[in-house]
Structure 1
Amino acid sequence: MKYRFINHTADIAFEVYGSSLAELLKNAALAFYDAFVDLSRIGESKEVEIEVEGEDDEMVLYRWLNELLYLFDTQFFAAKEIKAEVRERGRIEAIGKLRGGNLTPEMVKVEPKAITMHKFGIERSLEGFKAFVVVDI
């Protein structure tokens, strides 16, 4: 399982899974776009690269999701294909290549406002990573 949506009273919440931090970031992007966009209507003509860094896994995931939200809000961009790479050089760096296209209003299911810190976190286990994310709508 890559991700699953959690019932939440006023926001969108999901758990996301990955065997590595890179896979967790990829699956978080898939969950984000699946929650807010009719992906069957998105083209694949545009590629966008993103880079974020942080002192720990949680900060990297938080910044990663905020970068997706920024692209959604300012460039009306949503991705169907996501590649993520993680490097550790004192700080954790994440590089993403997103392939997708521009949004039109009828493609948007509901509009995200903010990535929240409410119950936000990552758990590590022998199986890999699990994160919980709530997005304000």
Structure 2
Amino acid sequence: MKYRFINHTADIAFEVFGNNLNELFENATMAFYNAFVHVERLDEDMSVEVEVEAESVDYLLFKWLNELLYLFDTEFFGGRRCEVEVSENEAKGKIVGGRSTPENIKIVPKAITLHDFKVERKNGEWYAFVMVDI
């Protein structure tokens, strides 16, 4: 996986890298789940289809991560692996994982924030900075 966590007060922040947008979104998905769930303990007995649209790649990733947060909040869904296809204004993907139990949850996320949120191309690679309120 190409992501790393950043120490930040009262939030969890992570940087995500990808050779293309598909890989960036896949790595962002796994960074999100690894931040909040012990993914190695999850079964792979559920799958969800996620689809979002937006006018910019920044907002597309923001909406994608908010959809993951919604699934975590409402279904206790945690992902172990994923495949994502990103086009100009749309991201579609399938995430395989399972229901998180209380002992599998590391910390409960509250919101994906727009503070310092960014997606950009750096040195031939896609880069994103994400901050999650906890």
- Short-chain TM bin: over 0.9
2:127 aligned partner: 130
Name 1:59's counterpart in structure 2.
59
Specify the alignment match of 1:33 in structure 2: 33
Listed one character per residue, the Cα deviations across residues 2-54 of structure 1 (whole Å, up to 9, x for unaligned) are 10000101110000001111111100000000000011110001110000011
Q: Distance in 2 between matches of 1:6 and 1:27?
A: 15
* Secondary structure at 1:59 match in 2: helix
Other-structure match for 1:43: 43
Over 3 Å off, 4+ runs? none
The CA deviation at 1:127 is 2.1
Residue 30 of structure 1 aligns to a residue whose secondary structure is: helix
Alignment of 1:1-137 (within 5 A): 2-88=2-88, 92-137=89-134
Tell me how far apart the structure 2 counterparts of residues 12 and 87 of structure 1 sit (CA, whole Å).
Answer: 28
- TM-score (ref. length: structure 2): 0.97
CA RMSD of aligned residues (A): 0.9
Return the TM-score normalized by structure 1.
0.95
- Give the superposition deviation at 1:128: 1.6
Structure 2 spans left out of the alignment, 5+ residues: none
User: Match for 2:122: what amino acid?
Assistant: S
Aligned residue pair count:
134
